[in-house]
Amino acid sequence: DANIYGVEADIQAAITERLLVSFNYAYLDYDINNAIFPDGSDRTGTTVLVWAPENAFSVSADYNLPIEAGEVQLHLDYSWQDSQYALANTDAGKVEVSSFGLLNGRISLADVNMLGGNWQFALWGKNLANRDDSNYLIGATARTYLQPRTYGAELVLQL
């Protein structure tokens, strides 16, 4: 028996004709009132909600700048989530994933008309702060980690 409370908010605003910002926030709280396990034991005081961070948010900004050759597009985003439990029963110790944030970015030159097509050239980066936090636990012993800082380039042709 549990009561779960929360709220989510999404806000998007065109600050100028060229700048768009977005913000998302989620809050989650809960009360576990009765946690009787299959063996009949009462684990109410040591049972938690799994994969449910109390706070999570993301913010992003997109800026588009028309130029003679096409359009320069800049994108930056950051997301954060609080720590969260991987196992519902904390009798054996709190098995949790620590809080972490991720920063990503992209710059592109789009709408370049040449050689009979519409071209886009882009450079991007993920996990720009190179966070090496654990982001998933499997049981009490195995865990996975965030991808390391990654860079890439894209070339797109639309005919």
113-127 residue pLDDT tens: 888 889 999 999 999
User: What percent of the chain stands above pLDDT 70?
Assistant: 90
Q: Token pair for residue 11?
A: 């806000």
pTM of the model: 0.81
Of the two residues 1 and 112, the one the predictor is more confident about is: 112
Pairing of strands 142-145, 19-32: unpaired
The 8 Å CB, 24+ separation contacts for 5-8 are 5/29, 5/30
CA dist 94 → 42, 73, 107 (Å): 18, 44, 41
Of the two residues 141 and 149, the one the predictor is more confident about is: 149
List the domain boundaries for the chain: 11-22+48-158
Task: Summarize pLDDT for 33-84 with one digit per residue, the tens.
Answer: 888 878 888 878 777 888 889 999 999 999 999 999 999 999 999 999 998 8
Say whether pLDDT at 137 is over 70.
no
Say whether pLDDT at 93 is over 70.
no
Average pLDDT over residues 146-151: 88
Contact indicator for 35, 47 with CB cutoff of 8 Å = yes
Say whether pLDDT at 136 is over 70.
no
pLDDT at 65: 96
- Distance, CA of 5 to CA of 28 (rounded, Å): 6
pLDDT at 39: 84
Say whether pLDDT at 99 is over 80.
yes
pLDDT at 95: 76
pLDDT at 114: 86
